[in-house]
Every structure is written in structure tokens, then in C-alpha cells.
Chains A and B, each alone.
Chain A
Amino acid sequence: MQFAVSKEEILETINMVQGQNLDIRTITMGINLLDCRQDDGEATGRRVYDKITRVAKDLVRVGEDIQRDYGIPIINKRISVTPVSMLVNGFTEDDIFKVALELDRAAAEMGVNFLGGFSALVHKGYNSGDRSLIQCIPRVLAATERVCSSVNVGTTKSGINMDAVYDMGRVIKQTAEATADRDGLGCAKLVVFCNAAEDNPFMAGAFHGPGEPETVLNIGISGPGVVATVVRANPGCDLGELARLIKNTAFKITRTGELVGRVASKRLGVPFGILDLSLAPTPEVGDSVADILEAMGLERVGGPGSTAALAMLNDAVKKGGAMASSYVGGLSGAFIPVSEDAGMIRAAAEGVLNIEKLEAMTSVCSVGLDMIAIPGETNACTISAIIADEAAIGMINRKTTAVRIIPAPGKHPGDWVEFGGLLGRAPVMPVNASSAAHFIARKGRIPAPIHSLNN
């Protein structure tokens, strides 16, 4: 077989990895846990631990082998599991807590930094397992290190469960308070979704959906630095040409993910699920989605033009990526977390980027109000109202939206929270003080929207 790649292309690839932070953000193994249900939390937890440590035992080693063989960094190896509420229906909170501890122990044993799936899908209503699990979230996120939690409160097909929205405002506050010594870190591991994706490989919102196979591998790509470099190198071209250049770049990034997914799937003997075409930033300099938007011509992200620039970027990434992989899924869109993106942090600290603009931007990209620190004194109803707004954008626009917000205890606008590592740091952003308490206290369900009259 002839080797038909030019020297220039080889050097381009090497530059992407060594100079522009191209990496595979995550290989996430989804594992079904429904067969682990036993009579109580302790026995169920034991089965859960045994299954995870059996099925995922080679995950980290294979990830490291692929990194070595192909010279492409694989930053995270992670595990997602069946929404735990589905196997704890009827359990007490203490029993559910025991299962969560075993999840954490299994994640540590496997050497993965996060395990997602302490989750409940309650978009239309609660069963008793959902209710107990949600009550248990603050305690679990405070007591565990690696367990991530998510709750789906709405879908386009079923509307928004405002009872759950009401409760999640309170749960987020309690989680922040339970981890007050760490700036409310627990909230960084808790996502409230509308239209949650069952095959999302990214944390904290990953879970192994009920429609998924027994085990599956989902891959999350990255590469904001590579896109930013291309945009910077072409300051004079018009937006149509820029879209084409971004598409080409997205194609190359995605092909890397496709290769890693296929090789990992073969070596682990686990089916390849999807490739998630998300531009996922890290706090590292040169790995920022905000930098791309600013390279496109904005003085600062958050100013006028940000939504349009982001919409174009997001669409071009999807178009290029969709050509490169047979199976695209998950969240697939540019992420705009504040604390995890050096450019977003800068814009927020300068006061150019506020929550309202972020909300507008989430209507054209993945995934939602993400990693935003707000004052600790923000009341639960206001947090619920922010969740309701974001869920409404997702419900009406048939897309996934989410809220991962941290009411940092004792902190005020202008203070900073420090989470460290991939979770980064963020300035505390002011929240509009007008109350939605009466609206949120109505509870009930926001009906599913009509979708034939599209204007």
C-alpha cells in the first residue's frame, strides 16, 4: 500500500498537536448497570463496583497505548453509567448514598477522573427513585470526588417539569453549601439539562442512556487552538471563505477522533458509539473558544456580534465534522464554559461578558450556561428561574441546553472562585436582582411547544 500523505501534511499534523493543543478530550465508556439492581444499597453498590471494574479494566491502559502509538494526546478517560435513579427506585436515601460511594470507588480504582450518571430523567415527572436521588445529590457530591450528576428537567416533546426546576434551584444551593470549603466545587459536577443527550461523552453531563447498548465508547474531540490558528492566519478573508477554512480544519480534527474511536473500540472490544464534535476549551492559554471569536474580529467576546460569530463558528465546525465521521452525536457544538476558557474568563472579569449575553449565545451553540460562578447569596428561586430560561431555549429550539452554575458561598461579584485543573477559575458574575419567586413557586409543567407554526 502506497503512503500518500505529503510532507507538508505530516508537518501540519505535528504542528497541530505540538503547537496548537490538538487533543482528544475524552474517551468515555458507557456501561449499562440495570442488571446490578439488588435488594438494598449495599448489595447493589457491590454489584455496581464489580461490573464497572470488570468492564472498564482496560480503558485507561488502552487510552494510554493509543496516545503513544499515534502521538495524539488523550486527555481524559472516563466512564458513564445508566442513570442511577433507574436502579434505585424504592431505595432510601441512605441506600442511594451507598451506591454512589461505590461508583466513586470504582472510578478511582479504574483511574478515571470522572464518572457520570448519578442522574435522573424527570422531564415529565418524578418516580420515587428520582425524588430520592435528587434529594441525595448535595450529600453525594460533597462526599465523592469523581461522581458527576445530571438531571434532565425538560424535553421538546414533553415540555418542562417545573417541579423539578423548582427543586433543582434548592439542590444547587445545598450542593454549594455542602462544598463551601471548596468554593462550591460540588456544583461543578452537577448539570441540569433540557433535551439531554444519551450518548454525550463530556462531563459533568455524561450518562449512559436507556437506549444505548450494553457498553459503548463515545469520543469527545477538542481543538479550539487549531481553529484559532487558522482564523488568525487569515485576517483578510470574508466570512464565507472563513467558514470554509473552519470546515476544513474541523474535518481534520474530527478525523483524528474517528481514528482514535475506531482503534479504541477494536482494542477494547466495545462498540464505537459516536463522535462528539465539540470545540471544548481548557483554561490553558491557546485552547480557548473565546480566542477564536476574537480572532474572527470581535474586540472581546460578549460584545455585540458575539452571537453571530459563534453561530457561524458552530455551524462550520458541524459541517466539517459531519463529513469526517460516520457517527456524530452527543452534544456536538462549541462549548462556552466561563471558568474553563481563558478568553471567557478575561471577558467576564472585564465586565464585557454577562449572563444575559451568555444566555443569548447558548441559543446558537452547545450547550448552555456552563461553569458560571454567581454570588453565594443568590436565592434558590432565582437559580430555578435561570434554569427555566435556559430549558425554554432548549425546548423551543429543539436542542440540548444545560445549566452548570455555582453559587459560590460567601462570594460577591468581582470575587474569584478557584476550582483548579480542567475546571479552572472564574470571576463571580452579578445576577439580575429582579425576583421570579412567584413564577417559580407556581410549579407544574410548562406544556410541550407547538412546532408547526415555526415563526
Chain B
Amino acid sequence: MEEGNRLIITVLGHDRVGIIYGISGVLANTNVNILDISQTILQGFFTMVMVADFADATVGLDELKLLLDQKGQELGLRVTVQHEDIFRYMHRI
């Protein structure tokens, strides 16, 4: 099987000013390209799902996770980074 380079970044927490700015700033600094963003308020929680291309990133996945995690803590949010295939596999044949 082929492993692609797309990541799903999910951000959960209380809504506030500057979430997209904060998260996308980390991605811009590490040269991760955002392909799609959607956000909603689900059951009172701010929920953002990003699809991002990791192919030309300047850092490894470990470091990207760490940076996003730090930014998440700063903003009071939980940030999860996962390869997109996990979702594709789980929900589609």
C-alpha cells in the first residue's frame, strides 16, 4: 500500500479569538500546506478539522506534533495530528 503525506489536524476546545491564526502560524513556519479547513461549534465545543500536506515540511512529524501541542496548551485547546489514512480506512472500504 502507498502511504500519502496528508495529515488530519483536529483542534477541540473553547472558542476564542486567534485559534486559526495560532495553529496556521505553526503550520506556515514549518512549511506544512493547508488543503482544507472546516470549523463548527459541536456540543458547545469549538471544533476545527484541517487537512494538511506534510510533503515539504521542514520538521519531522514528532517535532510538528510537539509544536502544535505547545500552541494548543497556550490557547487552551487539544490538538490531535494523525495521518489521514486512519480515517479513510475506518470509514470507507
Q: Residues 35-57 of chain B: 1 if any A CB is under 8 Å from the residue's CB, otherwise 0?
A: 11010101000010101000000
In this assembly, does A255 line the interface, its C-beta being within 8 Å of a C-beta of chain B?
yes
Once the chains bind, are B10 and A10 in contact (CB under 8 Å)? yes
Once the chains bind, are B80 and A14 in contact (CB under 8 Å)? yes
Give every chain A residue within 8 A of B62 (Cβ-Cβ). Answer: 68
Interface size class on chain A is 20 to 34
Once the chains bind, are A5 and B3 in contact (CB under 8 Å)? no
In this assembly, does B83 line the interface, its C-beta being within 8 Å of a C-beta of chain A?
yes
Most chain B beta carbons < 10 A, residue from A18, A71, A256: A71
**Cα–Cα, bound, A255→B89 (Å):** 6
Once the chains bind, are B84 and A3 in contact (CB under 8 Å)? yes
Once the chains bind, are A256 and B38 in contact (CB under 8 Å)? no
Give every chain B residue within 8 A of A4 (Cβ-Cβ). Answer: 88, 92
Instruction: State whether A9 and B87 are in contact (beta carbons under 8 Å apart), knowing that A3-B36, A70-B82, A263-B1 are contacts in the complex.
Output: yes
Q: Residues 11-48 of chain B: 1 if any A CB is under 8 Å from the residue's CB, otherwise 0?
A: 01000000000000000000000011010101000010
Interface size class on chain B is 20 to 34
Nearest-neighbor residue (CB-CB) of B88 within chain A: A5
Q: Residues 118-147 of chain A: 1 if any B CB is under 8 Å from the residue's CB, otherwise 0?
A: 000000000000000000000000000000
In this assembly, does A181 line the interface, its C-beta being within 8 Å of a C-beta of chain B?
no
Give every chain A residue within 8 A of B40 (Cβ-Cβ). Answer: 7
**Cα–Cα, bound, A69→B3 (Å):** 11
Q: Residues 1-17 of chain A: 1 if any B CB is under 8 Å from the residue's CB, otherwise 0?
A: 10111010111011000
Once the chains bind, are B65 and A68 in contact (CB under 8 Å)? yes
Give every chain A residue within 8 A of B81 (Cβ-Cβ). Answer: 71
Give every chain A residue within 8 A of B8 (Cβ-Cβ). Answer: 10
Nearest-neighbor residue (CB-CB) of A72 within chain B: B86
Once the chains bind, are B3 and A263 in contact (CB under 8 Å)? yes
Once the chains bind, are B10 and A266 in contact (CB under 8 Å)? no
Instruction: State whether A3 and B49 are in contact (beta carbons under 8 Å apart), knowing that A69-B83, A71-B82, A256-B90 are contacts in the complex.
Output: no
Residue from A1, A11, A69, A324 within 8 A of B42 (CB atoms): A11
Residue from A13, A258, A262, A323 within 8 A of B87 (CB atoms): A13
Which residues in chain A, 176-230, are within 8 Å of chain B measured between CB atoms? none
Nearest-neighbor residue (CB-CB) of B40 within chain A: A7
**Cα–Cα, bound, A98→B1 (Å):** 41
Nearest-neighbor residue (CB-CB) of B60 within chain A: A68
Give every chain A residue within 8 A of B86 (Cβ-Cβ). Answer: 13, 70-72, 256, 259
Once the chains bind, are B1 and A71 in contact (CB under 8 Å)? no
Once the chains bind, are B90 and A255 in contact (CB under 8 Å)? yes
**Cα–Cα, bound, A5→B6 (Å):** 13
Once the chains bind, are B83 and A70 in contact (CB under 8 Å)? yes
Task: Give the Cβ gap from B2 to chain A, nearest Cβ, in Å.
Answer: 9
Which residues in chain A, 249-302, are within 8 Å of chain B measured between CB atoms? 252, 255-256, 258-259, 262-263, 266
**Cα–Cα, bound, A147→B39 (Å):** 50
In this assembly, does B69 line the interface, its C-beta being within 8 Å of a C-beta of chain A?
no
Nearest-neighbor residue (CB-CB) of B3 within chain A: A263
Give every chain B residue within 8 A of A255 (Cβ-Cβ). Answer: 89-91
Once the chains bind, are B89 and A10 in contact (CB under 8 Å)? no
Nearest-neighbor residue (CB-CB) of A262 within chain B: B1
Once the chains bind, are A256 and B87 in contact (CB under 8 Å)? no
Q: Residues 61-101 of chain A: 1 if any B CB is under 8 Å from the residue's CB, otherwise 0?
A: 00000001111100000000000000000000000000000
Known pairs A14-B12, A69-B82; list 5 more (Cβ under 8 Å): A3-B88, A5-B84, A14-B80, A70-B83, A258-B89
Interface positions of A (Cβ within 8 A of B): 1, 3-5, 7, 9-11, 13-14, 18, 68-72, 252, 255-256, 258-259, 262-263, 266, 323-324
Interface positions of B (Cβ within 8 A of A): 1, 3-4, 6, 8, 10, 12, 35-36, 38, 40, 42, 47, 49, 51, 61-62, 65, 80-93
Closest 3 CB pairs of A and B: A71-B82, A259-B89, A70-B86
